[in-house]
Chain A
Amino acid sequence: MTTKGSAMSECTEAIRSEARRLLESGAVDVVLGFAEGTVPMRAAPLFVRDASEVERLIWNPFCENNLARYLRDLRGEKVAIVAKGCDTRSIVALLNEQQIDREKVYIIGVPCEGMVDRRVVMRRVPGEVLRARQEGEEIVVEGRGFSERLPRSEVRYRSCSACTHPNPVIYDVLLGEAVETWCSDRFAYVREIERKPAAERAAYFDSEARRCIRCYACRQACPMCYCAECFVDHTTPRWTESGATPAGQQAWQIGRAYHLLGRCVNCGACERACPMEIDLVYLNGKSSKDVWELFGFEAGIEVDKPPPLAVFLPEDDPDVE
Chain B
Amino acid sequence: MRGWQPRVVVFLCQWSLKSDREWAQRSQVPDGVRLIEVPCSGRLSPLLLLSTFQRGADGILVVGCEPGHCHYKEGNYLGRRKLATLKSFLDYVGLEEKRLQVAWLGESDRGQLSRLIDDVLRDVRELGPMQELATLEALPSSVCAS
Whether A and B are associated in the same complex: the answer reads: yes
- Chain A interface residues (CB < 8 Å from chain B): 193-194, 198-206, 209, 231, 239-241, 245-247, 249-251, 254-255, 257-258, 261-262, 283, 286-287, 290-291, 294-295, 308-310, 312, 314, 317-321
The verdict on B43 contacting chain A, using a C-beta distance below 8 Å, is no
Using an 8 Å CB-CB cutoff, how does the interface string of B82-93 with A read, 1 for contact, 0 for none?
111111111111
Pairs A–B under 8 Å by Cβ, sample size 15? A198-B132, A201-B94, A202-B132, A206-B134, A209-B134, A249-B134, A250-B93, A254-B89, A258-B86, A258-B89, A291-B85, A294-B81, A309-B85, A312-B74, A320-B84
Asked whether, in the complex, the Cβ of A314 is within 8 Å of the Cβ of B47, the reply is no
- CA A255 – CA B133 in complex, angstroms? 13
Asked whether, in the complex, the Cβ of B77 is within 8 Å of the Cβ of A201, the reply is no
Closest to B134 in A: A246
Asked whether, in the complex, the Cβ of B134 is within 8 Å of the Cβ of A247, the reply is yes
- CA A241 – CA B48 in complex, angstroms? 13
- CA A185 – CA B95 in complex, angstroms? 26
- CA A318 – CA B81 in complex, angstroms? 8
Asked whether, in the complex, the Cβ of A231 is within 8 Å of the Cβ of B94, the reply is no
By a CB distance below 8 angstroms, the chain B residues around A193 are: 92
Tell me the smallest distance from the CB of B68 to a CB of chain A, in Å: 7
Asked whether, in the complex, the Cβ of B87 is within 8 Å of the Cβ of A287, the reply is no
By a CB distance below 8 angstroms, the chain B residues around A245 are: 134, 136
Using an 8 Å CB-CB cutoff, how does the interface string of B57-100 with A read, 1 for contact, 0 for none?
00000000001100000100110111111111111111111000
Q: Is the interface of A mostly helix, strand, loop or mixed?
A: helix
Asked whether, in the complex, the Cβ of A251 is within 8 Å of the Cβ of B50, the reply is yes
- Shortest beta-carbon contacts, A-B, top 7: A202-B94, A246-B134, A312-B77, A201-B94, A205-B93, A320-B84, A202-B132
The verdict on B103 contacting chain A, using a C-beta distance below 8 Å, is yes
By a CB distance below 8 angstroms, the chain B residues around A314 are: 67-68, 77
Asked whether, in the complex, the Cβ of A319 is within 8 Å of the Cβ of B80, the reply is yes
Asked whether, in the complex, the Cβ of B85 is within 8 Å of the Cβ of A247, the reply is no
The verdict on B46 contacting chain A, using a C-beta distance below 8 Å, is yes
A198/B77 contact (C-beta < 8 A), A320-B102, A321-B102 known: no
By a CB distance below 8 angstroms, the chain A residues around B102 are: 320-321
- CA A181 – CA B52 in complex, angstroms? 43
- CA A291 – CA B81 in complex, angstroms? 9
- CA A239 – CA B47 in complex, angstroms? 6
The answer, among B93, B96, B103, for a CB contact under 8 Å with A254, is: B93
The answer, among B78, B88, B92, B103, for a CB contact under 8 Å with A201, is: B92
Closest to B54 in A: A247
Asked whether, in the complex, the Cβ of B95 is within 8 Å of the Cβ of A202, the reply is yes
By a CB distance below 8 angstroms, the chain A residues around B78 are: 309-310, 312
Closest to A194 in B: B92
The answer, among B47, B50, B87, B90, for a CB contact under 8 Å with A320, is: B87
A321/B101 contact (C-beta < 8 A), A193-B92, A202-B93, A312-B74 known: yes
Asked whether, in the complex, the Cβ of B101 is within 8 Å of the Cβ of A290, the reply is no
A198/B94 contact (C-beta < 8 A), A258-B46, A317-B81 known: yes
Asked whether, in the complex, the Cβ of A309 is within 8 Å of the Cβ of B81, the reply is yes
By a CB distance below 8 angstroms, the chain A residues around B50 are: 239, 251, 254-255
Asked whether, in the complex, the Cβ of A251 is within 8 Å of the Cβ of B81, the reply is no
Asked whether, in the complex, the Cβ of A309 is within 8 Å of the Cβ of B82, the reply is yes
Tell me the smallest distance from the CB of A163 to a CB of chain B, in Å: 21
By a CB distance below 8 angstroms, the chain A residues around B68 are: 314
By a CB distance below 8 angstroms, the chain A residues around B90 are: 254
By a CB distance below 8 angstroms, the chain B residues around A203 are: 94
A312/B89 contact (C-beta < 8 A), A198-B96, A246-B134, A251-B51 known: no
The verdict on B135 contacting chain A, using a C-beta distance below 8 Å, is yes
A257/B89 contact (C-beta < 8 A), A314-B68, A321-B103 known: yes
By a CB distance below 8 angstroms, the chain B residues around A255 are: 46-47, 50
The answer, among A231, A247, A295, for a CB contact under 8 Å with B47, is: A231
Pick from B74, B77, B81, B88 the residue with the most CB of A within 10 Å: B81
Tell me the smallest distance from the CB of A205 to a CB of chain B, in Å: 4
By a CB distance below 8 angstroms, the chain A residues around B136 are: 241, 245, 247
Tell me the smallest distance from the CB of B103 to a CB of chain A, in Å: 7
- CA A262 – CA B81 in complex, angstroms? 11
